[in-house]
Amino acid sequence: MTVRRSLLTLSIIALALTLGAWLPPLKAAAQSCVFVRGFATLHDLIPDVVGECVSDERYDRQSGDSLQQTTRGLLVWRKLDNVTAFTNGATTWVNGPYGVQSRPADGWFAWEVNAITHPGMLFAPTSPWNLPARGAADADSWRMIDNLAEAMDGRGFAINVREYAVPLFYADTSTSWVRVRNSTDWWEGMDVPVPSSAWPDPGSDRHLAIWDLQTNRLFEFWCMRYSERESAWSAGYGITFDAAGAGYQNGDWENSARAYGGSLVAGAIRYHEMQRGEIPHALAMAYPFTRGDAFASGGEFGIASHNDRALQPHRTTRDNIPLGARLRLKESVNVAERCGNDRGCRVVGEALQRYGAFAVDTGGAPVLYAENLQGKRVTWDGLLGSDDALAFRAHDYEVLELPSLTAVPPPSGESGSPSPC
């Protein structure tokens, strides 16, 4: 509860601006009130901006945050990241590691959100990731769901929250750019704004994603490593995506940090979504028996441009779900009844029923992906657990109608994403 209330305080400014609210000037208190500690410091640094106090500082006992009304707006101290800020409803002044900085009330500095998470929307509203799942089940859905059931072995999807999850960090104009070198001949390396707190996921894929808030670009990596001896980063593959774009590629054999060829962060369950109680997009899934000789491409019902080209007999049949395919939790499944008092289960189940999940990778077990909160001041405790989708079994899902599948090209020295990294 403490983290939720702290982030609620953190979001007051953005919410006020979103609703078109404005903090009107108030008269100074007739009786004596004073600024103390961090509020006094910020007032003394920008007295004409903050104005005079209207009341004394007040504390929220549950979150530990404190607030103080002034003649020009509101002072806020956030326990979560020990930062003092002032807002007039349109602009926010933050006293942080770089001194007093101002930003729009609905904006964020990278150093702020690297300590927590960024609430911004990923990808265009028209992206398949952000569109509700629609249409009928594929004629071979039953075959593919039987195959999924074999992999699930009586369970449901686990949710990767701590390992083989998606670490997402943030950069802005204060972030240093470094060269990320290529450790394979799959790409040439590139210059990247890498925050000092950024670190790859501990799983063998060593995924890492960085969202540059200034350019709205995503830098995404597979097999990302830092050499202490050389003080240098390298990756097996790197790619950029427009954070306001489609979130996938249209080519017939376009690789990325994820086997399906689209964005690594697309479909990941993010912290602020679980805090808010709604996941407004499709999820990302993997399972062991994805189809290796073809993938589903072309848009809303197929978003892959690549796969792992696994050509073993048990991976090349109509039974295998191809990468890029979209699953949906059947409308007949009563999410509330299945989940009971488990809030995480309900939020995930509602998203699976409304938006479904795209097959994006081949995994050792059937899984959904969440944001990896390593290095943050927030955790998944009380919001999301690895078992929050287990209430839904394989035959509760259906595979939506597939487009014509794209066959993988003949081998030419490359045989899909090398594994392990």
By C-alpha distance, which of 145, 150, 80, 149 is closest to 116?
80
Q: Are 207 and 169 in contact (CB under 8 A)?
A: no
Number of domains making up the chain? 2
Assess whether 83 and 212 both reside in one domain: no
Assess whether 58 and 140 both reside in one domain: no
Write down the pLDDT at residue 404. 94
The Cβ of residue 282 has, within 10 Å, a number of other Cβ atoms equal to: 27
Distance CA 6, CA 80 (A): 6
The Cβ of residue 242 has, within 10 Å, a number of other Cβ atoms equal to: 14
Mean pLDDT in residue range 91-106: 92
Assess whether 178 and 95 both reside in one domain: no
**Max intra-chain CA distance, the chain:** 82
Distance CA 257, CA 231 (A): 23
Q: Let me know if residue 8 belongs to a domain.
A: yes
Q: Kindly tell me the burial class for residue 218, based on how many C-beta atoms sit within 10 Å of its own C-beta (0-12, 13-18, 19 or more).
A: buried
Task: Write down which residue in 74, 107, 140 finishes a domain.
Answer: 107
The Cβ of residue 98 has, within 10 Å, a number of other Cβ atoms equal to: 10
Mean pLDDT in residue range 301-310: 95
Using 50, 70 and 90 to split pLDDT, how confident is the model at 60? confident
Assess whether 162 and 30 both reside in one domain: no
Assess whether 101 and 156 both reside in one domain: no
Q: pLDDT tens, 356-389?
A: 999 999 999 999 999 999 989 899 999 999 999 9
Segment of 77-86, 138-147, 298-307 carrying the highest mean pLDDT: 138-147
Write down the pLDDT at residue 91. 96
pLDDT at 208 over 90: yes
2-16, 37-51, 233-247, 324-338: segment of lowest average pLDDT:
2-16
What own/partner pairs with CB < 8 Å and gap ≥ 24 does 408-411 have?
408/253, 408/292, 408/293, 408/294, 408/295, 408/307, 408/309, 409/252, 409/253, 411/309
What share of the chain has pLDDT > 90, as a percent? Answer: 79
Q: CB within 8 A of 394, min separation 6: which ones?
A: 145, 146, 148, 149, 151, 152, 156, 366
Assess whether 168 and 78 both reside in one domain: no
pLDDT at 269 over 70: yes
Assess whether 255 and 135 both reside in one domain: yes
Q: Let me know if residue 123 belongs to a domain.
A: no
Q: Let me know if residue 419 belongs to a domain.
A: no
Q: Are 224 and 103 in contact (CB under 8 A)?
A: no
Q: Let me know if residue 420 belongs to a domain.
A: no
The Cβ of residue 139 has, within 10 Å, a number of other Cβ atoms equal to: 11
Q: Let me know if residue 412 belongs to a domain.
A: no
CA 292 to chain centre: 27
Assess whether 143 and 85 both reside in one domain: no
Mean pLDDT in residue range 270-289: 97
Q: pLDDT tens, 382-421?
A: 999 999 999 999 999 999 999 999 999 877 654 444 456 7
Write down the pLDDT at residue 97. 87
Write down the pLDDT at residue 31. 61
Helix segments in 267-400, DSSP class H:
271-276, 335-339, 343-354
Using 50, 70 and 90 to split pLDDT, how confident is the model at 203? very high
Write down the pLDDT at residue 107. 85
Instruction: Sheet with 74-78: list strands edge to edge.
Output: 58-59, 66-69, 74-78, 83-87, 91-96, 99-104
Q: Let me know if residue 413 belongs to a domain.
A: no
Distance CA 360, CA 126 (A): 19
Assess whether 90 and 220 both reside in one domain: no
The H or E element containing residue 149 is: helix 141-152
Domain that holds residue 315: 128-407
Rounded to two decimals, what is the model's pTM? Answer: 0.84
Assess whether 316 and 379 both reside in one domain: yes
Show the tokens assigned to 11: 């979001």
Using 50, 70 and 90 to split pLDDT, how confident is the model at 48? very high
